[in-house]
Amino acid sequence: MKETAYIQTPLGTACISGNEDGITDISVVKEEEAPTQENIPSHLKDAVTQLQEYFEGVRTDFDLVLNPSGTDFQKKVWAELLTIPFGKTASYLDIAKRLGDPKSIRAAATANGRNPLWIVVPCHRVIGSDGSLTGYAGGLWRKKWLLDHENPVKQQSLF
């Protein structure tokens, strides 16, 4: 049976779903869709804690059992996204090349856009080949926020 937890993040309310087999979905929901929740299901406590740590700036990677639904190709793309380091980006073409077929760029981009595990599978780290912030289901402002959060500009001393 799938269970759900809701947490507040700087980018809106996150809905985390899963069961004893792993986390199946993490997404941002409209505030009115998020019920008040007192108890977090035991299967979701690690995900809640790790997401909170990520937003607090103390976690750079996740250690969760993931169990998303998708095609074999989508799962290959999502697995490739997991290899993009915190604070770094890759292009859609990079992902297609890593999958062994540069011509699969559109299919890789589509699979990236269908990623059901917001932040944990870092689809926000994929950008256009020209460095542009292209396509993000959660809105480009969220993508920019996440990239800035992971790679803040450090003010250098003038002296």
Q: Which residues are catalytic?
A: 123
Q: Is-contact 4 15, C-beta < 8 A? A: yes
3-state percent breakdown (helix, strand, coil) of the chain, nearest 5: 40, 20, 45
How large is the angle between the packed helices 72-81 and 105-113, nearest 10 degrees? 80
Provide φ and ψ at 105, rounded to 5°: -60, -45
The H-assigned helical ranges of the chain are: 45-56, 72-81, 92-98, 105-113, 140-150
Token duo for residue 149: 């959060």
Question: Which residue type is seen at 24?
Answer: T
Question: Which residue type is seen at 55?
Answer: F
